Amino acid sequence: MIVGIIGSGGREHAICTKIKESLKTTKIFCIPGNAGTSALAENVDIKINDFKSIKNFCLKSKIELLIIGPEQPLVDGIVDYFSDTKINIFGPNKKASQLEGSKIFTKKICAKYKIPTANFKIIENSQDAKKFLSNAKYPLVIKADGLAAGKGVYICKDYNESLVATQEIFAGKFGNAQSFLVEDYLEGEEMSYFIICDGDNYKFFGTAQDHKRVGEGDKGKNTGGMGCYSPSRLFNSDLSEKINKKIINPTLTAIKDLGTSYKGFLYVGLMIKNNEPYLVEFNVRMGDPECQTILPLLENDLTELIFNCCLGKLKNEKVNFSEKKSICIVLCSEGYPEDYKKNIVIENLDKLILKKNEYIFHAGTKIENNQILAFGGRVLNFISVSNNFKNSRDDIIDLINRLNWKHGFFRKDIGYKVVNK
């Protein structure tokens, strides 16, 4: 089978690696891919928002299965754009992708279907904002409505902080905003929970805990993710049942009630308190770096699984994960998440010899003149799978130290809640 993968991050390199392992896969194209995927697939230099060129390329190259990694093309309707082709495209359509594309859309579903989440209010102009926020209880959370790459969320300690947030949102920091969301601050611990869904049936697809802050001890600025571990320490079958019953089933019913269905990965971002789940957000894709952490534990043939999912045949599939413990640590460019240098050579990367349980997935890299260059803030993902979290983490730190990239930094405490426990 000829497979196409859209995206260029660590998540897509991890997907590409797993797709390559399948005996069903005959060729892979990554659009646009990165230096890591170029060793496994043919990278194709087309922008991910150029649907017309992507479609022409897929038809010309006889791609049979197209996997969409990131949210933006999904929210923009790439799946709908391919509906006049026979290509099996994996991901939700434009309507269903609003689960990530509009926080207000999701909150309205939560209210209608009684899905547990933080109490919320939609505010539609700055006068209402001032009135509401001056009488509100703090801390509270303010969220821009559309896609904001994880940056449109403000945790506000007091009225002044909330005013700054609303001014930034209405000034257009996250696109033209007519409204925003205010919600209660939820106490608890976060967990990322995943399913794969074929429109009618879904299967559990792993859990992880992400470390979003740049500094050790979860301090400092928010980032795209500095690393994570899987499975989450919060996971248990009782909780899983509650998540399915209280959150996932009603959401999939809501999507059906809108006259469509959900196909693809669904990322359920949760706050867990006293073994009760509260929805924080949905993402209509795998997490990054959760995907890099979870996929090495998957025992299924991913090409076969995703293809069967596209055909609506997930019901008879058994999705199996190993019992092992996986940790991913992200190596970043010095300065991230603020300014960092681009196009710095990463020496020695091709000299590192990986053991069977170790993986390096590229994120912000490219190849120029036979050299691997870092050009993104999050550069490489290092993953190790073993029988316990401590071994996995020690193994990765050793690997990163062997690379010894002078322009990078990483958190040494990823998984601190499970290491040594």
Residue with the two structure tokens 């050299």: 371
Q: Which is nearer to ligand AMP, 186 or 329 (CB)?
A: 186
36 binds, among ligand GLY, ligand AMP, none (CB under 5 to 8 A by kind): none
3-state secondary structure 114-173: CCCECCEEEECCHHHHHHHHHCCCCCEEEEECCCCCCCCEEEECCHHHHHHHHHHHHCCE
Task: State how far the Cα of 117 lies from the Cα of 120, in Å rounded to an integer.
Answer: 9
Among 319, 288, 315, which residue's Cα sits nearest to residue 302?
319
The answer to whether 395 contacts ligand GLY (rule: CB under 6 A) is no
- The residue from 161, 190, 334, 394 that contacts ligand AMP (CB under 6 A) is 190
Q: Which is nearer to ligand AMP, 283 or 384 (CB)?
A: 283
288 binds, among ligand AMP, ligand GLY, none (CB under 5 to 8 A by kind): ligand GLY
Radius of gyration of the chain (CA): 21
Task: Annotate each residue in 129-158 with x if it binds ligand GLY (CB under 6 A) or - if it does not, as one string.
Answer: ---------------------x--------
- The residue from 25, 283, 293, 365 that contacts ligand GLY (CB under 6 A) is 283
- Are 289 and 330 contacting, i.e. CB atoms less than 8 angstroms apart? yes
395 binds, among ligand GLY, ligand AMP, none (CB under 5 to 8 A by kind): none
Interface region with ligand GLY, contact rule CB under 6 A, candidates 101-109, 156-164, 287-295, 322-330 = 287-295
Which residues share a beta bridge with 5?
30, 67
- Residues 155-184 binding ligand AMP (CB under 6 A) are 155, 183
Report which secondary-structure segment, H or E, holds 289.
none
Task: Annotate each residue in 224-263 with x if it binds ligand GLY (CB under 6 A) or - if it does not, as one string.
Answer: -x--------------------------------------
- Sheet containing 153-156, strands listed edge to edge, beginning at the edge strand earlier in sequence: 120-123, 180-184, 140-144, 153-156
Residue with the two structure tokens 């260059």: 373
Buried b (16+ CB within 10 A) or exposed e, 112-130: eeebbbbebeebeeeeebe
Interface region with ligand GLY, contact rule CB under 6 A, candidates 109-117, 151-159, 284-292, 359-367 = 284-292
Q: Is the N-terminal amide bond of 73 cis, ω within 30° of 0?
A: no
- The residue from 78, 252, 255, 280 that contacts ligand AMP (CB under 6 A) is 280
In whole angstroms, how close is the CB of 284 to ligand AMP at the nearest point? Answer: 13
The answer to whether 288 contacts ligand GLY (rule: CB under 6 A) is yes
Beta-strand runs (E) in 310-377: 325-333, 344-345, 358-362, 365-368, 371-374
In whole angstroms, how close is the CB of 345 to ligand GLY at the nearest point? Answer: 28
- Residues 99-138 binding ligand AMP (CB under 6 A) are 118
Task: State how far the Cα of 332 lies from the Cα of 354, in Å rounded to an integer.
Answer: 20
- Are 214 and 220 contacting, i.e. CB atoms less than 8 angstroms apart? yes
Interface region with ligand GLY, contact rule CB under 6 A, candidates 174-182, 286-294, 307-315, 410-418 = 286-294
Separation of CA 113 from chain center = 25
The answer to whether 269 contacts ligand AMP (rule: CB under 6 A) is yes
Among 228, 226, 229, which residue's Cα sits nearest to residue 377?
226
- Residues 44-103 binding ligand GLY (CB under 6 A) are none
Interface region with ligand GLY, contact rule CB under 6 A, candidates 158-166, 245-253, 281-289, 300-308 = 281-289
- The residue from 227, 287, 408, 415 that contacts ligand GLY (CB under 6 A) is 287
The answer to whether 381 contacts ligand GLY (rule: CB under 6 A) is no
> Nearest-5° angle of CA 305, CA 306, CA 309?
90
- The residue from 145, 290, 358, 395 that contacts ligand GLY (CB under 6 A) is 290
- Residues 65-94 binding ligand AMP (CB under 6 A) are none
For 258, the token pair is 């809108």
Task: State how far the Cα of 131 lies from the Cα of 178, in Å rounded to an integer.
Answer: 17
The answer to whether 210 contacts ligand GLY (rule: CB under 6 A) is yes
287 binds, among ligand GLY, ligand AMP, none (CB under 5 to 8 A by kind): ligand GLY
| Binding residues vs ligand GLY (CB under 6 A) | 150, 210, 225, 283, 287-288, 290
